[in-house]
Structure 1
Amino acid sequence: MSPTGKIKAVLVEDEAAAMAALQSYIQKFCPQVQICGTAQNSREAISVLHEIQPELVFLDVEMPFGNAFDVLDACQDLQFETIFVTAFSEYSLKALNQSAAYYLLKPVSIEELILAVTKVQQQLQQQRLFNRNQIIVANARETKPEKQQVILPTLDGFDVVKMEEIVRLKGNGNFTDVFLADGRKKMVCRFLKHFTEILPHPFLRVHKSHVINIHFVKSYHKGTGGYLTLQDGTEVEVSAAYKDQLLEAFR
């Protein structure tokens, strides 16, 4: 996926007007798709697809220097879903129907575009669920908890990170903000309580709104509860109710 969490897509179309119309429709009616590149012929398409490695390609069937099937033949090392875009052609439609492919007839119908993108999105989500099973198996085989991976459900899908990459978590209403060692922040669709139940040592709840990875603690400052300074300079309040538990962890 793209950094925004959207479906990375490339448009391959040799007619400028058709390209402009398709871009406009996607941007307006398919917000889950991010157009990351375009190409106007098969040679250019092969190069762009290998450079961007998209999840979805809108692929014109007939174009200069070859056709859609030549492009797919040259990109067998890549994995992406394809929505073919074609003017009526008995040959192309027969081939596409036999393969149960997604395709759009020119001029493109907005309703058919939305339907095709929705089907592709569902297919991609199923593939990601399969990856979830791979994560479960990998975690079962990993003996060091900090090396295990955790799935973070977000508004756009989900991210997978190793537990050792998580610095701290902060409750944010119905969500949890997860702060990572590389400076990124993820807003996750789970209550903080969810993570207190699934994250093992070295994660420790120090406040009703804060869970920290004790490996990132730089110093503790006394007080009624006191506060922690983390390695990135962040200060995290410690509530009196969790103070003893925190001090015990460092004994």
Structure 2
Amino acid sequence: MTFQKIKSVIVEDELAAREVLKNYLSKYCPQVEVVGEAQNIKEAVPLLHEIQPQLVFLDVEMPFGNAFDVLEACKDLQFETIFVTAFSEYSLKALNQSAAYYLLKPISIEELIVAVNKVHHQIMNHEIFNRNKIIVENFHESKPEKQQVILPTLEGFEVVKMEEIVRLRGNGNFTDLYLNNGDKKMVCRFLKHFSEILPLPFIRVHKSHIINLNCVKSYNKGGIITLNDGAEIEISPTYKEEFLKNFK
């Protein structure tokens, strides 16, 4: 099969890790052409401006800074990013909120192929979405409720601030997301995905419901939570104690 190759750059401080990734790409991802490498931010920023790649494999933690510093310095460029990271709860939450592609070290060949295929499809179909801008803005925003989350929908992507979300309801393979302006979005993610990435004031109150605590209007001893949008949600006994802790 003949692929239209996409220009890529690897930014990774460990030589062995760069060699492994290049080897995997050569063997399993023929649609990717590695046209440059950098081992730190000081090398990466001018290289990316010079080459202007379509795809960057970007290590999250490096000497002289991190991946977010690279994106900040290259915010005038348009490229897709596949992050490579050792496990970090903070990093993973930040990347998941931005619907970013990432690979955990040591890199899984299967996960690499999936991520590359998705990015290649988007680039070839001109479905470029500037996740990098959202990632950088979230990194600099200290208040979680002011951060933005990218929502994959059937039509593409939408961006909303977390403070605009009133509640989320599981709907099979999708999640219905209700905003404070009355809009409802159907998102292509399980509810579990949001329970893992959304910080307080979001809390799960039922196997099918996550709510924004800042949008709670009232609660009665019968276990019914009323939200600002008028929705009434019955809290599950499993989540009741954790919910009430936030109002003591």
TM-score scaled by length of structure 1:
0.49
Query: Structure with the greater relative contact order (CA < 8 A, sep ≥ 6): 1 or 2?
Result: 2
Bigger Rg, structure 1 or 2: 1
